[in-house]
Amino acid sequence: MRQLGSRWAGAAVGFIRACVVGFLRACVVVVVSMLVPAVWAAAVGLGIWWGAGNPWSWVAPCVLVTVGALTLSRPVCQLVRFLVARWTATAIPAGYRQAGPVTRMSTGYWWNGFSYERTSRDALLDQKWRLRWRDPANWRDLRFTAVVPLTAGVVAALPPAGVAAAVLGLGRPEPVARVVGALGLVLAVASAPYAWRPLRPVAVRFLRPSPAMELADRVDELTAQRADTTIAQAAEIRRIERDLHDGAQARLVALGLALATAEKLMRTDPDQARELLREARAGAAASLAEMRELVRGISPPVLNERGLVDAVRALALDSPLDVAVTADAPLHLDPPIESAVYFGVAELLTNAVRHAQASRARICLTRDEAGLVAEVEDDGRGGADIRSGGGLDGLRRRLAVFDGTVEITSPSGGPTRVTMAVPCESS
């Protein structure tokens, strides 16, 4: 009996707590959602107070309505996003446009992504205003501030309205007022735990980024990737040109010189001619070795001859680590993807040797319905992270071109596990 009683007491305490918390939340929702309507109401009141007959008296309220809605919509939306995240642990992406870097051009002017300005302060200010007023999120925010009072706001107003009715009605002597007051109290108590809850679905439906904003983000992302790719490609071509110019080409010139000299010396000094020919042969071998290294860096021959799996096996054999490779049956992938994944694995193995001081590594190449997954794990000391401009950041950028992703778990003390996933059609 006592047990039953204590259970009832527990349930009652829980209900009272839910009522109190719900009531407070409902009040907060009412205040937040009614901010903009309150400004509008104030404007209308102002217009009436000044005199409805005079047409000029409506100018100030109209200005107040416009400015109030425009300036308040974003803070209201951010507040709602914060409240929803706080109360229901639902994160709603904001999707506001982010400021790009402000850079100084060689002319001395500052470029903020939109215009040139004389000083960095002007450039930042200009950028801030342009981002603020050109953001497609503004329309969504305005729509939300119009929708939320009529949906979540009205429902959340029930408990405060019930309490107000109870306070006013129960204080009067008339029986009708008392009945209305009692009904208000019942309504307030019954709706308090639930009245704030419609805020979440309304916010999820109307506050998430619109398709237009998602497309705009995607365009920004692709533009950045294209810039990355063209820069990387140009740098790579310059590197190849430099290597050929200083290496193979120079050696071939030296080779030709040695052969020409040997031809001249053939009659007069055969011994020296023979020596020159020997040197020429050594030069040819050296330039071949250089070309081999260069070719390996552009496109490893074993990758062309055998495909990704065997190329990674060859890589594992050449690594000073003890590397185990597991792979699905031969993977048929597009050459650019194969190459990106191959160089990714190569870089991760190098990192495992150089930075993590690992002694073992495990490489796993698998294919699921979404695409290729390459996992590289080492037993090194861990602590790897994607630093901007670092090697892992470069890897992430190279895979991003194929919409691929890089995930790293590398607690201090190891082990490090890097998972590269590249979407591709199954074949």
The count of residues interacting with other proteins (CB under 8 A) is: 21
Minimum CB separation of residue 269 from other proteins in Å reads: 23
| Position 314 contacts other proteins (CB under 8 A) | yes
Q: How far apart are CA 392 and CA 156, in angstroms?
A: 49
* Six token digits for residue 373: 């997954």
Position among 288, 298, 324, 370 found at the interface with other proteins (CB under 8 A): 288
**Considering beta carbons, is residue 92 or 308 the nearer one to other proteins?**
308
Q: What is the DSSP letter of 91?
A: -
Bond prior to 198 in cis (omega within 30° of 0): no
Minimum CB separation of residue 420 from other proteins in Å reads: 22
* Six token digits for residue 281: 């042969």
Tell how far CA 7 is from the center of its chain: 48
- DSSP-derived 3-state class of residue 402: coil
**Considering beta carbons, is residue 10 or 320 the nearer one to other proteins?**
320
Q: How far apart are CA 78 and CA 394, in angstroms?
A: 34
Minimum CB separation of residue 384 from other proteins in Å reads: 24
| Position 89 contacts other proteins (CB under 8 A) | no
The runs of H, that is alpha helices, within 299-370 are: 301-306, 308-318, 335-354
Beta strands in 146-277 (DSSP E): none
* Six token digits for residue 338: 């194969």
**Considering beta carbons, is residue 323 or 399 the nearer one to other proteins?**
323
**Considering beta carbons, is residue 208 or 360 the nearer one to other proteins?**
360
Q: Which of the stretches 2-10, 93-101, 294-302, 344-352 binds other proteins when contact is defined by CB under 8 A?
A: 294-302
| Position 310 contacts other proteins (CB under 8 A) | yes
Minimum CB separation of residue 316 from other proteins in Å reads: 9
Enclosing H/E stretch for 106? none
Minimum CB separation of residue 238 from other proteins in Å reads: 24
**Considering beta carbons, is residue 17 or 278 the nearer one to other proteins?**
278
Site residues for other proteins, window 267-286 (CB under 8 A)? 281, 284-285
| Position 242 contacts other proteins (CB under 8 A) | no
Report CA Rg, the chain.
Answer: 36
Minimum CB separation of residue 301 from other proteins in Å reads: 5
| Position 292 contacts other proteins (CB under 8 A) | yes
What sign for the dihedral angle of Cα 181, 184, 186, 188? Answer: negative
- Encoded amino acid at 412, one letter: S
| Position 334 contacts other proteins (CB under 8 A) | no
Burial 151-168 (b: 16+ CB within 10 A, else e): bbbbbbbbbbbbbebbee
Minimum CB separation of residue 333 from other proteins in Å reads: 15
- DSSP-derived 3-state class of residue 419: strand
Minimum CB separation of residue 265 from other proteins in Å reads: 21
Q: How far apart are CA 154 and CA 390, in angstroms?
A: 52
Residue numbers at the binding site for other proteins (CB under 8 A) = 281, 284-285, 288-289, 292, 295-296, 301-302, 304-306, 310, 313-314, 317-320, 322
